[in-house]
Chains A and B, each alone.
Chain A
Amino acid sequence: MTTLPAPGRGLSGDARSLDDLAARLTDRFGDVTTDLAHGELTVHVAPEQLVAVLTFCRDDEELGCELLADLSGVHWPAGDHVVDRQPSTTGWPEYRIARDEGVIEVLYILRSVSRNHWLRISVGTPDDEPRLPSVTGVYETANFHEREVYDFFGVVFDGHPDLTRILMPDDWLGHPHRKDYPLGGVDIPYKHEKFIPPPDERDLREVVD
């Protein structure tokens, strides 16, 4: 049984530092890694641990995350990418994305109303056959979010009650938020079977050899 704060109890629980939260999660699940940046705690978990970690976050007295605030995806395709920089004006170091295999990273933002903290759970799944367990059994609100991630990234959430497209039309092909989704160049059918070729095909991203 979940322990939820009674009405009126929001903000009343004792605050826990993000380090404490990270320690609690690593104590309970040995093989999760945590990462603290920009004052935000990110917990990297394996797909098979996902439901257990989220259930723990919800039910644990210390973590007490009643809300699944957000669920989103990021696609990191395989390959070597450098994006255009302007070190002469900014002075920031060059950044390079290099991954052996494409990954779709799904991010869960868990929020505790009673203790006023939040943390991010990050889980990766290969982008050629993305598949993750659904967390709708833990947080009902994940329903729409998971449909959205399925719609945009093609991640199949096992156990989702109704995994259909949500924002794109039902008969849409492809998953448009993936970085390998072809952009531009959609043929527009005009009258009399005439097709006018699209003006250009926009580059997906700047790829440097």
Chain B
Amino acid sequence: MAIDPHASPSSRTDPTLAAMKAGFDDDLFVEGADWETVVDAVEDETLTVNMGPQHPSTHGVLRLVLELDGETVTHLRPIVGYLHTGIEKNAEFRTWVQGTTFFTRMDYLAPLFNEAAFSLGVEKLLGIEVPERAQAVRVILMEFNRIASHLVWLATGGMELGSTTVMEFGFREREHILDLFESQSGLRMNHAYIRPGGIAQDTTDDFEARCEALLTLLTERLYDYEDLLTKNPIWNHRLRDVGHITAERCYALGVTGPLLRAAGVPWDLRKAEPYCGYEQYDFEVPTETAGDCYARFLVRLEEMRQSMRIIRQALDTLPGGPVMVADKRIAWPSQQSLGTDGIGNDPAYIRHIMGESMEALINHFKLVTQGFTVPAGQVYSPVESPRGELGYAITSAGTNKPYRVHVREPSFVNLQAANEMTRDHLVADVIVVVASLDPVMGGVDR
């Protein structure tokens, strides 16, 4: 290590700043020159193209350095980190409950999975069991989230193939799902709704009716996608035999999720290690054997159907009861109720802590300001996110804050396969392959 990590901040920043200033006038601008000089300087026949980080189809700020021979890709190097926000580090300075508000912002297309995986890990450390109703609601919302995420994948993937209609359709349906999330959690994205110990608040009265209506709508609209795309000749031509990867290479590169299933392995953590009561529900793990982009398209389309199947079963068997653990040392103390201003504190609860019980007030105060402590230990809690295995490796030192949380992000890992999947393909296929990987840069860069 070239530098002293203990050095004071100013001495840390000075060298870079000085270097920046020194080089500012000379290096940052390429002087205008005749294009010929550029051409003459080229020795080999390959062209290096920087695709991104500012590029329409790199899912945010992914940068792909392409080595092109004509239009054929000879090498692809993904460069990430442009969206790094230090969420893992930040979480070390927030309480366990506050952690969910951070992690939900990582993979912003699948926020509920992040919350769920983190909460499951914390619950494992605490050794608590979440009430059945909370588990069922988690399942329903996570599956809706899976559909929403796949819809965005379809929308952006279609957009990148030049099919704006698919984009409009995908986002249109997703909006309905986000409306449902908003009605339950108050937020369209980044809900912080699933928390250690249960969920933030019970569902609204019209929750089941809303879900039913949404399922009816989605069932119908999924057929539209099939009509528009599955037999669409150009869609077929563009996706088939593109970005092929075998199951063996998936294992070696750590690729999971729809990509692994499209390569023929029926691997799904909801089946393998059921969490949140997934073992109660009857569903299938769709697989394809081709391992190309078209297979991934079919797998994701079928996954949306299976998700709806799970939601139906969960709605049919939705149990009553509390949505937060009974343990007063963990459960969020504040009781919300609908006030004249739309939302507010429950007057009865306020009377209880302010007028009746000093201990309740102390408990409330302690839990809200300091949070609960979690016994020391290490856990790894994986869930099946829309992109693959989303794992939270949580280390607790026995405090009210995580000691270290590391997230195994499927987007981050799957991106490693991009080079292999695009070799000897054309530039146009790079877009298709990256779209089929479905990376979310918020998750990749964390």
A-to-B contact residues, CB < 8 Å: 4-11, 37-40, 42, 66-70, 72-75, 81, 83-86, 89-92, 94-95, 97, 107, 109, 111, 113, 116, 118, 120, 139-141, 143-145, 154, 165-169, 171, 173-178, 180-182, 184-187, 189, 198, 201-202
Task: For B370, list chain A residues within 8 Å (CB).
Answer: 84, 86
B252 touches A144 (CB 8 A): no
Task: For B254, list chain A residues within 8 Å (CB).
Answer: 67-69, 139-141
Task: For B265, list chain A residues within 8 Å (CB).
Answer: 5, 7-10, 113
Once bound together, how far apart are the Cα atoms of A90 and B96, in whole Å? 14
B380 touches A84 (CB 8 A): no
Chain B, Cβ-Cβ closest to A105? B395
Restricting to B233-284, which residues have a CB under 8 Å from any CB of A? 246-248, 251-256, 263-267, 271-273
The prevalent SS among residues of A at the interface is: loop
Once bound together, how far apart are the Cα atoms of A144 and B411, in whole Å? 12
Task: For B55, list chain A residues within 8 Å (CB).
Answer: none
A84 touches B399 (CB 8 A): yes
Least distance between B389 CB and chain A CB atoms (Å): 6
With A7-B265, A154-B5 given, can you name 17 additional A-B contacts, CB distance below 8 Å? A8-B265, A69-B391, A70-B380, A70-B406, A74-B378, A74-B406, A85-B398, A90-B329, A90-B373, A107-B378, A140-B254, A141-B416, A171-B19, A174-B5, A174-B12, A187-B9, A202-B93
Once bound together, how far apart are the Cα atoms of A166 and B406, in whole Å? 15
A72 touches B5 (CB 8 A): no
> At the interface, yes or no: B372 with Cβ under 8 Å from chain A?
yes
Once bound together, how far apart are the Cα atoms of A37 and B395, in whole Å? 13
> At the interface, yes or no: B400 with Cβ under 8 Å from chain A?
yes
Least distance between A109 CB and chain B CB atoms (Å): 5
In the assembled complex, 19 residue pairs joining A and B whose CB atoms fall closer than 8 Å, in A order, are A4-B247, A7-B246, A7-B264, A69-B256, A90-B373, A92-B373, A95-B398, A95-B399, A107-B393, A118-B380, A139-B252, A140-B253, A144-B415, A145-B413, A165-B81, A168-B84, A182-B9, A184-B9, A189-B17
B267 touches A89 (CB 8 A): no
Once bound together, how far apart are the Cα atoms of A200 and B324, in whole Å? 37
> At the interface, yes or no: B362 with Cβ under 8 Å from chain A?
yes
- B1-43 interface code vs A (CB 8 A; 1 in, 0 out): 1110111111011011101000000000000000000000000
Chain B, Cβ-Cβ closest to A8? B264
> At the interface, yes or no: B151 with Cβ under 8 Å from chain A?
no
Task: For A75, list chain B residues within 8 Å (CB).
Answer: 404
